[in-house]
Amino acid sequence: MSWLPAIALAGALFLIAAFALRLPRAAWAAFGAALLFGLAGYALQANPDMPAAPKAAVPEASEASAAMIEARRAMFDSTMQASDFVLVSDGFARRGQYADAAQMLRGVVRENPGHAEAWVALGNALVEHADGNLTPAALYAYARAEQAAPGHPAAPYFHGLALLRAGRAYDTRDLWAQTIADAPEGAEWVPSMRERLERLDALIAAVEAQ
């Protein structure tokens, strides 16, 4: 019955995303489907003698992508329009064309290495293009975003979401805690990030108690 903890963790991750992290309701179905695919992969890995199965179809990406884009825009100045090339890349991402979005964003950061939002968007596009996997290229993009805008929460926030999606809730917890500890004095985003961290801690404790 070794799959029971995995199911419990998947359920906890969904609750974290839906309520603690305030994932928009429109993205619940896509996120839940991603967790189910993860459980399916776990089941296959736990039975090495089982014949390989064809990959399931990926759910419609537009709603989840739109939610991620809106969250990113809100963390930067949502009252100011993003650069034209970032907007074009967002259009690709909304249609699930993450490779095209990443290609567009590579051009943006090549011309302007200090464009923090473009680096964050690139990290998100690379994660989605890799089916939710946090690749070295995505890690590099998030690191460059932090370098371009020290003390800004967007890069560690989305990096943490990618870790959470991969089932690495404890790594998300460590990253967000360190981000809060390193925050500039009086940063307006600290209370909301601390609230998310507290809810994440509570849910991790609930899983451990099972």
Position 35 pLDDT exceeds 90: no
Structure tokens at 21: 């992290």
- Report the C-alpha gap between 37 and 86 in whole angstroms: 30
Average model confidence (pLDDT) across the chain: 77
User: DSSP label at 190?
Assistant: H
pLDDT of residue 47: 43
As a whole number of angstroms, the distance between CA 163 and CA 34 comes to: 13
The pLDDT value recorded for residue 137 is 97
Backbone angles phi, psi at 179, to 5 degrees: -65, -40
pLDDT score of 106 more than 90: yes
Rounded Cα distance between 62 and 154, Å, is 21
Sequence-distant contacts of 16-24: CB under 8 A, at least 24 apart: 16/164, 16/169, 16/199, 16/200, 16/203, 17/161, 17/164, 19/199, 20/196, 20/199, 20/200, 20/203, 21/161, 21/164, 21/196, 21/199, 21/200, 23/67, 24/67, 24/70
DSSP state of 182: T
C-alpha dist (Å) from residue 83 to 73, 104, 116? 12, 12, 12
Q: Which residue has the higher pLDDT, 72 or 82?
A: 72
Yes or no: say if 142 and 123 are a contact pair by the CB < 8 Å rule: yes
Could you tell me if 175 and 139 are in contact, meaning their C-beta atoms sit under 8 angstroms apart?
no
Nearest-angstrom CA–CA distance, 158 and 21: 11
Q: How many Cβ atoms are within 10 Å of 25's Cβ, its own excluded?
A: 10
What is the reported pLDDT for 43? Answer: 43
pLDDT band at 204 (very low <50, low <70, confident <90, very high): confident
Residue reference for tokens 């070794």: 2
Would you place residue 79 in the very low, low, confident or very high pLDDT band (cuts 50, 70, 90)?
A: low
